Structure 1
Amino acid sequence: MHIHNLAGATDSESLALQEAGRRSMETLLNCYCREVAGPEGQLSVGPLFGQNDSPASVRLALQRSGGRIMHIRLPLTDERLLTVVDGASATGNYRYQSPFYCKSTGKPWGLLDWQALAGLLLRELSLKYELPANGELMQQIHDSVAVTSAVLSASRPGRFSREPLQAFIESEQSLVFGHPFHPAPKSRQGISHEEMQRYSPEMGTRFALHFFAVRREYVLQQSVLAEPCDRIVAAQAPAGLAADEAFSLIPTHPWQARHLLGHPSVAAAIRGGRIRDLGQHGEHYYPTSSIRTLFHPQNPYFYKCSLNVRITNCVRKNAVYELEGALQVTRIMRSLMPQLQQQFPSLRVMEEPGFISVDLKTGEMQADKEVTEGFGMILRRGFDDVLLPGVTPLLAGALFGNHIYGEARIRELLAAMGQHGGLPLEETAEQWFSHYVAELMYPVLYCYFAHGVIFEPHLQNVVIGVADGGPRQVFLRDFEGVKLVQERYSEKQLEAVSPRAREALWYSNEQGWKRIAYCLFVNNFCEAISQIGAGKPALQNRLWAVVRHHLHAYQSHYGDDVSARRINALLSGEPFPGKANLINRFFKRPDRASGYLPVNNPLGALGEDGTWS
């Protein structure tokens, strides 16, 4: 019996690894087609180009699915790649339907696994840019496959709970596959496999916070609330950990606590009595999709903690300028929200009104900076008093950035909405998407054009409040990603923050537009349309017509001359800006130095005939 169970477990792990590897190949090709092969004319999608020039499984997949051949040339390595997709995609959102093959001159087609495909593509990029092999990126891809495999072995996300906050937790912890246009969407470097399993949200985990008591003269904090940050934290702390006149409590992620305890300055501060290590205590908190932001349903605030782990592109620590910036954006949004709430009553902004950290003031600048960044924690407003009755908050990424599991969840929502509305499925899908686009796009564009505030509405920064299956509210979050148009916010207006924080907050108008257009139209709407209209090209066109309709409506109700230029360009088919995650990772660029590339915009091809009502 034991041997049988072990064999079953081994089979399950093997299948999970195969599925993780296949999804890695799909996301790698997504990136390569959008960033390299498509722009350079090395990609074709169409009928079979020769009955004898393809593997038998490819021909079978074509017969079974009625799809199209994707053919990619790698001119510098003299290789060809071949697979079957369900059809051409204007935005590069392909759906793969066969194994992946490679052919060299004079050799037969060979079946590829994820390691071979990654090696081929990275070798082609090395020759293209005349750079040595990027072993770091190959390791990140390997890490991503290992994490995805572990997640698939542990659990598969299912239907969300009927209880709103439990459903929210489940949505945050359901992202099995990650970003569909990133070469290593689940990469986590600097953390062991065992720790990954213990602390990763996809594993359905939860854990107690690790608390430190810090002498008040070494506490660095700011708040725009009636109380300082340490009092808010103390009010939510477990019984028996009450702060006293001399010390403040600071909660940390338990992995980060171990990292901090290994820092020489922290160890010295503990020996000297400036810091007390109190250990893990209290209720269990749930890690959300960002891994480092922690949630408890009874706490009115999320805790956005520092985590010295490289997650996809960045080490996720809270630098002081990011702490300051979040508070400055909160000040600005507090002044704007009364007007915004009147114009966009379904909008909620999850402000970040306080932060707390440690400044040991040892005089050793680098060591002090590492400690401050390591302890840095931001308060983010939760759902208390802002979630409407009967509304369930769900992470947008759980619906539109989660491959087959996202498709299943959006189908469930559409079915629920269809039962209440009595419309056929495709009409329900159009109505659902129309509500979503209006609730999200109007306030995001208005904040940019009218107020110079640049939100980052990608799929992990948007929470959708649903009732009876349909969108009723939209929550925008993560002020670390919010920027300000420099032409609109002078140095004097931002005098409350340091010069470093001002520099990080400022974007030019052009930078701001590219950030919003990428997050809104490419990262968000492209994926939503691909998931809602999966396998239905005509429905996808109608969903793009919904976007076109709402761009016209926005300009009619809220627009000005500046927005008219941007919106008219989109309506005429000007390419969307797309983030080049593969190329950025290949060059090891930090996120702030990431470039954009053109992504085909279907709105122009619809023409004025592509209207929706």
Structure 2
Amino acid sequence: MSSSPAATPEHAADAAATENLLRCWIRETAVERPAGDLLTVPLPASGVTVEAPVRYWSPVGWHRFGPARVQGAGTPLAASALAALIAVETAAADPAQVADLTARVADSTRRTAEFVRQRAESPADPEGTTAFLAAEQALITGHPLHPTPKSRETLTDAELAAYSPELRGSFALHWFAADPSVVSADSTLAGRTAQGLMVELAALDGGAAQAPAGTVLVPAHPWQAKDILTRPAVRALLDAGLLHDLGQAGPEWSPTSSVRTLYRADAPVMLKFSLGLRITNSRRENMRVELERGAAIDRLLAAGLGDTLRAEHPGFDIVRDPAWIAVDGTDGSATGLDVVVRDNPFPAAPDAVQAVCAAGLVAPRPDLGPDAPSQLASAVRGLAERTGRGVADVAEDWFARYLDTVVTPVLWLYATYGLGLEAHQQNTLVVLDEEGWPVGGRYRDNQGYYFSPTRSAELYGWVPQVGRDLGTYVDDEVIDERLAYYVGINNMLGMVGALGSQGLADEHALLRRAAEVLGKLAAEHGDRLRLATTLRTAETLRCKANLLTRVQGMDELTGPLEAQSVYVDLANPLAGATR
């Protein structure tokens, strides 16, 4: 990494945070493209105007900017100062909200600088790192349209080093032993209970966790294990002898991009824990209905939907969550001690299919240098060099294949069976062939399944009434709004923005490609996929507003589904793309 001030970890992190804030503000307040190369943002509540050079203006919102300044001033604004001005503009009547956003932007920026510094000092992935894990650990700056993508409130520096995927952290699980009377569990694993699987995992590499006779082993993330000891429900279980704290034991696991889902290349499963840290907008604790939803989807896939999906779209699949186990309070309440068992289709075996997180694929890499390419840019430019074609031509072809193998199967599943997948970029895995072309995809996340009241009855032949009691059986209008954002804006248009902002393609050409695919899907599925027509022709789309959601202190995992986030109208860049 260059030693120039502009390339220090602190400057790289601050520049990324500033761009995030400006992108969020532009999207969420409908700022139009400036006539020249200077963005001006009037902030009347503070009596100032902020300006920033426009380095790249993206039709889908993935803009690039130079340093932001107060108009008339020479000193660049730190991201935390810009956050304070924006917070005053949106929440002037609530000093607590202003303080919260400012502090969390500062925290996110500080954490990002540490990620950049340490990764720059050790750029090579450790021996044995799979392609899957490398991509999970590559989101150094995080979501480009979120104000606080790397905030990890309350983590000490030592905890940050151990628990952060960006720092290639790893650690042993913390084990508890619980009386069977306070354990709930489910498993679709052939001949294996969740309880039995926990014993197998505890024994990995000669792990030392031993359950007292007559008890059940339950693992926890070490941070969560410490946090729940202060909770009354857990203290009551410990005091009554219904729960025993066994401490950390066994081999080390690695955190993936969600922080709370852990991976070992040699383990048959991944583990998704409750983690009471507030990451982006939410404290990441599993709700019981989410645990049940994962197992229900696995039963549905095993009953026939999985074979049907693969027959129609051979390259696409869903990563399954076949089991879960949880400790309940004596009154049946949640304790925060629970874990989802997730299949691990990405071991270190040389013949195993490897898939990479879409968000990691497109992520900038300031840790590798100020002009270092993303994995996506490296793949596209490598393909162009090997084939003798132009970079833009290859990028358009790459995007067309991505639409065909990753996006189309998600929309087909919703049109045909009324099952919606919340397939944003972090929940989407891309299968790449040896040359770097997308040849398939995987979806993961037990939180993000939606069941349509008008079409999910198509699934009842496999599992009667599936989805009706799993918390996301909601009106088609709600599902359409969510999928329009997650699949349309975040995933599909996000890929357009990544290819455009990284100098690989003309975004307008990519938008035309996307509009053509959506037009074909709309013609094929008609009223069963009104979403395709909406994405292609609506003048505006409903878009999640991460900045306003953060300012208002909303938790996206609690409350009614329809009111967990702030949504705004976004001018649809696909409208008229084929004209």
Residue 425 of structure 2 aligns to a residue whose secondary structure is coil
For the 8 Å contact 1:437–1:547, the answer to whether it is kept is yes
In the alignment, the residues of structure 1 paired with residue 300 and residue 135 of structure 2 have an alpha-carbon distance, to the nearest angstrom, of 30
Matched, 1:529 2:496: yes
Deviation, 1:488, is: 4.1
For the 8 Å contact 1:319–1:376, the answer to whether it is kept is no
2:402 is aligned to: 436
1:56 is aligned to: none
1:218 is aligned to: 182
Matched, 1:15 2:20: no
For the 8 Å contact 1:45–1:88, the answer to whether it is kept is no
For the 8 Å contact 2:431–2:440, the answer to whether it is kept is yes
Q: Which residue identity does 2:61 align to in structure 1? A: G
Deviation, 1:268, is: 4.6
2:20 is aligned to: 27
In the alignment, the residues of structure 1 paired with residue 498 and residue 14 of structure 2 have an alpha-carbon distance, to the nearest angstrom, of 21
Deviation, 1:158, is: 5.1
Higher RCO (Cα < 8 Å, 6 or more apart): 2
Deviation, 1:12, is: 9.4
In the alignment, the residues of structure 1 paired with residue 418 and residue 217 of structure 2 have an alpha-carbon distance, to the nearest angstrom, of 37
Query: Which of 106, 109, 112 pairs up with 1:148?
Result: 112
Deviation, 1:311, is: 0.8
Deviation, 1:578, is: 1.4
Q: Which residue identity does 1:377 align to in structure 2? A: V
CA RMSD, aligned part only?
Answer: 3.1
For the 8 Å contact 2:30–2:570, the answer to whether it is kept is no
Pair 283,407 (structure 1): closer, same or farther in 2 beyond 3 Å: same
Deviation, 1:303, is: 0.3
Matched, 1:208 2:182: no
In the alignment, the residues of structure 1 paired with residue 262 and residue 375 of structure 2 have an alpha-carbon distance, to the nearest angstrom, of 23
Q: Which residue identity does 1:176 align to in structure 2? A: I
In the alignment, the residues of structure 2 paired with residue 381 and residue 323 of structure 1 have an alpha-carbon distance, to the nearest angstrom, of 14
Structure 1 range deviating more: 84-93 or 577-586: 84-93
Q: Which residue identity does 1:307 align to in structure 2? A: L
Residue 195 of structure 1 aligns to a residue whose secondary structure is helix
In the alignment, the residues of structure 2 paired with residue 598 and residue 386 of structure 1 have an alpha-carbon distance, to the nearest angstrom, of 44
Deviation, 1:162, is: 9.7
Q: Which residue identity does 1:527 align to in structure 2? A: G
In the alignment, the residues of structure 2 paired with residue 495 and residue 137 of structure 1 have an alpha-carbon distance, to the nearest angstrom, of 46
1:46 is aligned to: 35
In the alignment, the residues of structure 1 paired with residue 577 and residue 232 of structure 2 have an alpha-carbon distance, to the nearest angstrom, of 61
For the 8 Å contact 2:271–2:340, the answer to whether it is kept is yes
1:605 is aligned to: 576
2:323 is aligned to: 354
Q: Which residue identity does 1:89 align to in structure 2? A: S
Q: Deviations over 1:307-364 (max 9, x none)?
A: 1111111111112222122222333333411111100000120011111011242x3x
In the alignment, the residues of structure 1 paired with residue 510 and residue 246 of structure 2 have an alpha-carbon distance, to the nearest angstrom, of 53
2:545 is aligned to: 580
In the alignment, the residues of structure 2 paired with residue 276 and residue 44 of structure 1 have an alpha-carbon distance, to the nearest angstrom, of 60
Deviation, 1:423, is: 3.0
Residue 488 of structure 2 aligns to a residue whose secondary structure is helix
Matched, 1:327 2:295: yes
Which residues of 2 match residues 81-230 of structure 1 at below 5 A? 81-96=50-65, 98-103=66-71, 111-127=76-92, 130-132=93-95, 134=97, 135-156=99-120, 166-226=130-190, 227-230=192-195
For the 8 Å contact 1:400–1:407, the answer to whether it is kept is no
Q: Deviations over 1:164-204 (max 9, x none)?
A: x6221121112111111111111122433332222111111
Pair 108,220 (structure 1): closer, same or farther in 2 beyond 3 Å: closer
1:394 is aligned to: 356
Deviation, 1:398, is: 0.8
Q: Deviations over 1:406-459 (max 9, x none)?
A: 943112212443455443322221221111111111111112122111111111
Deviation, 1:32, is: 0.7
Pair 497,488 (structure 1): closer, same or farther in 2 beyond 3 Å: closer
Pair 536,600 (structure 1): closer, same or farther in 2 beyond 3 Å: farther
Deviation, 1:302, is: 0.8
1:427 is aligned to: 393
Structure 1 range deviating more: 154-163 or 165-174: 154-163
**What TM-score results when the alignment is normalised by the length of structure 1?**
0.83
For the 8 Å contact 1:350–1:380, the answer to whether it is kept is yes
Structure 1 range deviating more: 404-413 or 383-392: 383-392
In the alignment, the residues of structure 2 paired with residue 498 and residue 602 of structure 1 have an alpha-carbon distance, to the nearest angstrom, of 33
- Size of the aligned set, in residue pairs, is 557
Deviation, 1:547, is: 1.1
In the alignment, the residues of structure 2 paired with residue 434 and residue 386 of structure 1 have an alpha-carbon distance, to the nearest angstrom, of 29
Which residues of 2 match residues 499-538 of structure 1 at below 5 A? 502=470, 504-534=471-501, 536=503
Pair 79,386 (structure 1): closer, same or farther in 2 beyond 3 Å: same
Percent identity over the alignment?
28
Matched, 1:539 2:528: no
Matched, 1:589 2:554: yes
Residue 376 of structure 1 aligns to a residue whose secondary structure is strand
Deviation, 1:119, is: 1.5
Pair 560,12 (structure 1): closer, same or farther in 2 beyond 3 Å: same
1:462 is aligned to: 428
Residue 422 of structure 2 aligns to a residue whose secondary structure is coil
Which residues of 2 match residues 51-90 of structure 1 at below 5 A? 68-90=37-59
Residue 52 of structure 2 aligns to a residue whose secondary structure is strand
Residue 374 of structure 2 aligns to a residue whose secondary structure is helix
Pair 291,417 (structure 1): closer, same or farther in 2 beyond 3 Å: same
For the 8 Å contact 2:5–2:11, the answer to whether it is kept is no
Q: Deviations over 1:508-542 (max 9, x none)?
A: 10111111111122112222222223364962222
For the 8 Å contact 1:220–1:358, the answer to whether it is kept is yes
Residue 575 of structure 2 aligns to a residue whose secondary structure is helix
In the alignment, the residues of structure 2 paired with residue 300 and residue 211 of structure 1 have an alpha-carbon distance, to the nearest angstrom, of 19
In the alignment, the residues of structure 1 paired with residue 5 and residue 225 of structure 2 have an alpha-carbon distance, to the nearest angstrom, of 34
For the 8 Å contact 1:576–1:601, the answer to whether it is kept is yes
Deviation, 1:205, is: 0.8
In the alignment, the residues of structure 2 paired with residue 114 and residue 443 of structure 1 have an alpha-carbon distance, to the nearest angstrom, of 39
Q: Which residue identity does 2:62 align to in structure 1? A: N
Residue 280 of structure 1 aligns to a residue whose secondary structure is strand
Structure 1 range deviating more: 270-279 or 238-247: 238-247
2:254 is aligned to: 286
Q: Which residue identity does 1:478 align to in structure 2? A: D
In the alignment, the residues of structure 2 paired with residue 330 and residue 221 of structure 1 have an alpha-carbon distance, to the nearest angstrom, of 15
Q: Which residue identity does 1:45 align to in structure 2? A: P
In the alignment, the residues of structure 2 paired with residue 483 and residue 407 of structure 1 have an alpha-carbon distance, to the nearest angstrom, of 36
Structure 2, unpaired ranges of 5+: none
Deviation, 1:275, is: 2.4
**What TM-score results when the alignment is normalised by the length of structure 2?**
0.88
For the 8 Å contact 1:209–1:251, the answer to whether it is kept is yes
Pair 159,433 (structure 1): closer, same or farther in 2 beyond 3 Å: farther
1:65 is aligned to: none
